[in-house]
Amino acid sequence: MGEMQELSTFWFVTVAAVKVVAVFTVVMGVVAYMTLAERRVSAFIQDRLGPNRVGPFGLLQPIADGIKNIIKEETMPGTAAKFYFVLGPALAIMPAVVTIAVIPFAAPLPTPVGTVDMVVADVPIGILYILALSSLAVYGIVLSGWASNNKYAFLGGLRASAQMISYEVALGLSVIAVLLLVGNVTLTETVWKQQQLGMWFVFPLSLAFVFFLISALAETNRLPFDMPEAESELITGYHTEYSAMKFSMFFIAEYAHVVTASALLATLFFGGWDIPFWTGDDMFRHESGWIRGFDEAGAPIPATPSVLITLLTLGAFCAKTGFFLLLYIWIRWTLPRFRYDQVMHLGWKVLLPGALGYVMLVAGTMLVLDQLEVPFGPVYGGVLTAVSGVTTLAFLLFVDRDRVIAGAHRKRNLARRRAGLPAEAGDPAVSS
């Protein structure tokens, strides 16, 4: 029971290949149906029907789109740099799919040949690998914008690079806050530490979650940060000159980034595959085998991997990731686009100093808690939650400064006052 059954090298490679193919297929399937979900949800939000003709509820629409994109004619500007023009979309699509390999998606699965980690590659560099590869995505966009030899595409590529590198700083710093609590850079340990703490990191690190969510939106070039393809200014930005399959490769890349970002949000801040309010699924690879936790003496308690737990945790992970996918669509069709200078100001003047200060605050709080010899558990997390909650509230009120939360109300009353009418009852702006 709980003894580590190591896979032999042959089975390790075979199982790895199976996992790669499975994960790749699932990601591509999710991407295809994200395009449909995006259109159906936007239709729902705008009180329309959306695509519902191809198959039941339009479910075959992604397949029809795919076929159409493959057999359509492609154009390429005569003045384009041909090699880089073709390389651009390929470079855009690769990092998005590769990064998902280090995200654990379920508890380990027992098989006749040994216990299999439910992560494509449990590499010791984990989060660093994600940070490194996701920043490669900017190359695809810049190269295709430059190679198109189109002024709008070029501007879109430039904007994309400046925006993505600006938000990468804030993204990296909010991940540092997670690393403080985890004490390692692997994502399997991130899940394990959240199980040990007894709460998901979204509570003790709430401000890091806010920063990460904003930066992830900016990194994936989704609204409200879709400067690189602001169609009212730049036609469609860096992919203006792309048509047919190369165009849809950019779309696949964008949605694959959204899937990866959602999976990361779920793993870093929402416990990954952890099922809430149940410790039966806690499992981690310790030196001696799979463990469930430590008893009072500090000795490891062995855990028993089972197929049922694997399936349940897989369901939990999919539910969490699916929630963030929907959140992405929801945000896109709710918020208007920022101006470019606003985007850069938010990144450099708000998120960067905020994240730096927050990392120091969390580290300081943790050291004080360790000084007081508070054990790593609910009390530890509770204190951090209180500190972070206050900080998050202060941050949101500072960023808002009565513009959004009380903004509409204020503006309406301002208009009423100009017109010589009394302000509406209960107006905070009048009493002050």
**What is the per-residue binding string for another protein in 292-331, x denoting contact by CB under 8 A?**
----------------------------------------
CB of 180 to another protein, least distance (A): 5
Of 91 and 275, CB closest to another protein: 91
Q: Which of 26, 64, 121, 331 binds another protein (CB under 8 A)?
A: 121
User: 16 to 55, contacts with another protein by CB under 8 A?
Assistant: 16-17, 19-21, 23-24, 28
Please state, in angstroms and rounded to a whole number, the distance separating the CA atoms of residues 170 and 214.
9
What is the rounded radius of gyration, in angstroms, for the C-alpha atoms of the chain? 24
Nearer to another protein, 41 or 185 (CB): 185
Interface stretch with another protein, choices 50-58, 224-232, 288-296, 344-352 (CB under 8 A): 344-352
Tell which one of 118, 141, 143, 185 touches another protein (CB under 8 A).
Answer: 185
Alpha-carbon distances of 336 from 153, 226, 331, 349, 408, rounded to whole Å: 22, 10, 9, 21, 15
Choose which of 337, 345, 409, 412 interacts with another protein (CB under 8 A).
345
Subset of 242-271 contacting another protein (CB under 8 A):
244-246, 249
If one asks whether residue 101 binds another protein (CB under 8 A), the answer comes out as yes
Cα angle 419, 423, 428 (rounded to 5 degrees) comes to: 135
**Is position 77 an interface residue for another protein (rule: CB under 8 A)?**
yes
**Beta bridge partner(s), residue 3:** 289
Q: Is 191 exposed, middle or buried (0-12, 13-18, 19+ CB in 10 A)?
A: buried
User: 281, 310 in Cβ contact below 8 A?
Assistant: no
> Applying CB under 8 A, does 165 fall inside the site for another protein?
yes
Using CB under 8 A, count the residues that bind another protein: 85
**In the complex, least distance from residue 379 CB atom to another protein, rounded to whole angstroms:** 15
Find the shortest distance in angstroms from Cβ 350 to another protein. Answer: 11
Within 128-157, which residues bind another protein (CB under 8 A)? 128-129, 148-154
Among 198, 348, 412, 427, binds another protein (CB under 8 A): 348
Choose which of 47, 56, 79, 375 interacts with another protein (CB under 8 A): 79
Using rule CB under 8 A, residue 241 touches another protein: yes
Nearer residue to another protein within complex by CB, 151 or 403:
151
Contact status, residue 251 vs residue 35, Cβ threshold 8 Å: yes
DSSP 363-409: HHHHHHHHHTT--TTHHHHHHHHHHHHHHHHHHHHHHHTTSSTTHHH
The residue within the footprint of another protein, chosen from 35, 61, 69, 310 (CB under 8 A), is 69
DSSP symbols for 59-113: TTHHHHHHHHHHHSPP---TTS-HHHHHHHHHHHHHHHHHGGGGS--SS-EEETT
Q: Which is nearer to another protein, 98 or 312 (CB)?
A: 98
Compute the distance between CA of residue 243 and CA of residue 73 in angstroms, rounded to an integer.
8
Q: Which is nearer to another protein, 93 or 199 (CB)?
A: 93
Q: Of 234, 256, 326, which is closest to residue 92 (Cα–Cα)?
A: 256
Question: Residue 113 or 363: which CB sits closer to another protein?
Answer: 363
Please select the residue that binds another protein; options are 29, 315, 353, 407, rule is CB under 8 A.
353
Between residues 155 and 329, which has the closer beta carbon with respect to another protein?
155
C-beta closer to another protein: residue 57 or 398: 398
Report d(CA 191, CA 184) in Å as an integer. 11
- Kindly tell me which of 78 and 336 has the beta carbon lying closer to another protein: 78
Please state the closest distance from residue 255 (CB atom) to another protein, in A.
14
d(CA 350, CA 307): 46
Closest C-alpha to 118, from 234, 243, 274: 274
Report the nearest approach of another protein to the CB of residue 353 (Å): 7
| Residue list 206-235, contact with another protein (CB under 8 A) | 235
For 165-198, the DSSP string reads HHHHHHHHHHHHHHHHHHSSS-HHHHHHHHHHHT
Binder of another protein out of 366, 387, 388, 392 (CB under 8 A): 366
Q: Of 31, 187, 174, 216, whose CA–CA distance to 101 is shortest?
A: 187
**285: which strand partners?**
290
**Identity of residue 404:** V
Binder among 48, 53, 82, 349 for another protein (CB under 8 A): 349
Report the distance separating Cα 224 and Cα 217, nearest Å. Answer: 8
